[in-house]
Amino acid sequence: RLDQLTEVKLERMLYPKPETLKPPRTDVLTITPWLAPIVWNGTYNIDVLNAQFHKRGVRVGLTIFAIKKYTVFVQTFVETAEKFFMVGHKVNYYVFTDRPNDIPNITLAEGRQLVVLIVPSYQRWQEVSMRRMEMIRDFSSQRFINEVDYLVCVDVDMRFSDEVGVEILSDVFGTLHPGFYGAGRQGFTYERRPESQAFIPGDEGDFYYAGGYFGGTIEEVYKLTNFCHNAMRTDRENKLEAVWHDESYLNKYFLYHKPTKILSVEYLWDNGFGVPDILKRRRFVAVPKNHNAIRNK
Ligand code: 2GW
Ligand code: MN
């Protein structure tokens, strides 16, 4: 095994020296107590990271679900991803849908492909959202493991508006929810009923993670989605459903399986929250939707 390892050695590069006594950000937390980076603008050098990930020839899968009327979001999502998501790297879009004929044909850059995966739709929207865990799990073991190294799993009702690159990749990562990055534990909308598998007591919890943005290696995403799906199934058998659906189970997973990297709110923003000073870049933002028109079949 050791003699089969391939060396990842960088070439000579010129860039500013990291300054031990001048941290790039002093206005936000950039590392967790378990020493996972929290990714904010200014904290990383993308040239160094790109050189490393290019040497490894890394392949990234980006999963989105477009069930029923949510197919309307695919065009903007993919067009903006072509401009900003992992530019220069190998990317597979995996579009899960029940309406393959509604998925537009979009010209992609070299090294990038779009794969349409036909899946069932569920009647209740909560179930549509939650079943993503089961489907990502199943396709991870059957397909993604053979095609990509990392998965990035996001909501589709979004657009990219600035760069999202390999700085987000790590064994298993979550993203700060834009509504709760300044909140205390009591303010987090974790599931609070002790009977639920998603239960988190008032004196626990690190961050409030968003349901709409997580990822990692295929193996880690398999473990995460398998946990969430099984927890949901147990709750369903007990006639329970966590308060924020898949997001509640994801938060429970991350409580006892700490993420190895956390994406700041730059990676998941909603302009309804304005633009606070700490927010130097808005990389991926919610597309406003007419809840009644889009949500009711
Ligand atoms: C969702 C709500 C109401 C009616 C329909 C749907 C719906 C969602 C749908 O008809 N078709 C569909 O494909 N979806 C998928 O589920 C789609 O990928 C969408 O991005 C995702 C989550 O639904 P969304 O984006 O409308 O809900 P948000 O933006 O409030 O999502 C947050 O909360 C959810 C749980 O309540 C999830 O945790 C989600 O990840 C969060 O961002
Ligand atoms: Mn959404």
Domain boundaries, the chain: 41-286
Cite the DSSP H helix spans in 193-245. Answer: 218-237
The residue nearest atom 19 of ligand 1, judged by CA position, is 155
Q: For the chain, give the mean pLDDT.
A: 97
122 lines ligand 1 (CB under 6 A): no
Q: Find the helix or strand (DSSP H, E) in which 286 lies.
A: strand 284-286
The answer to whether the CB of 198 falls within 8 A of the CB of 234 is no
> For residue 26, how far is its CA from the centre of ligand 1 (angstroms)?
34
- Cα angle at 150 between 148 and 152, to 5 degrees? 115
Average pLDDT over residues 109-137: 98
Which tens digits make up the pLDDT trace of 74-106?
A: 999 999 999 999 999 999 999 999 999 999 999
Please determine, for residue 296, whether its predicted confidence score (pLDDT) is greater than 80: no
Q: What is the ipTM of this complex?
A: 0.98
State the sign of the Cα–Cα–Cα–Cα dihedral 159, 294, 227, 257: positive
Q: How far apart are CA 255 and CA 252, in angstroms?
A: 5
- Ligand (nearest to CA of 155): 1
Question: Residue 4 — very low, low, confident or very high, per pLDDT cuts 50/70/90?
Answer: confident
Question: Residue 297 — very low, low, confident or very high, per pLDDT cuts 50/70/90?
Answer: very low
Question: Residue 145 — very low, low, confident or very high, per pLDDT cuts 50/70/90?
Answer: very high
- Listing DSSP states for 37-72 in one string gives BEE-TTSS-HHHHHHHHHHHT-EEEEEEEE-GGGGG
Average pLDDT over residues 288-293: 78
Give, for ligand 1, the residue of 70, 177, 249, 253 to mutate: max count of ligand atoms closer than 8 Å to Cβ. Answer: 70
- Ligand (nearest to CA of 154): 1
- Cα angle at 172 between 265 and 241, to 5 degrees? 75
Average pLDDT over residues 252-266: 99
The residue nearest atom 6 of ligand 1, judged by CA position, is 125
Q: How far apart are CA 110 and CA 113, in angstroms?
A: 8
Q: How far apart are CA 158 and CA 46, in angstroms?
A: 23
**Is 19 annotated in the active site?**
no
Tokens of 100: 């393959």
The CATH superfamily assigned to 41-286 is: Spore Coat Polysaccharide Biosynthesis Protein SpsA; Chain A (3.90.550.10)
Please determine, for residue 291, whether its predicted confidence score (pLDDT) is greater than 80: no
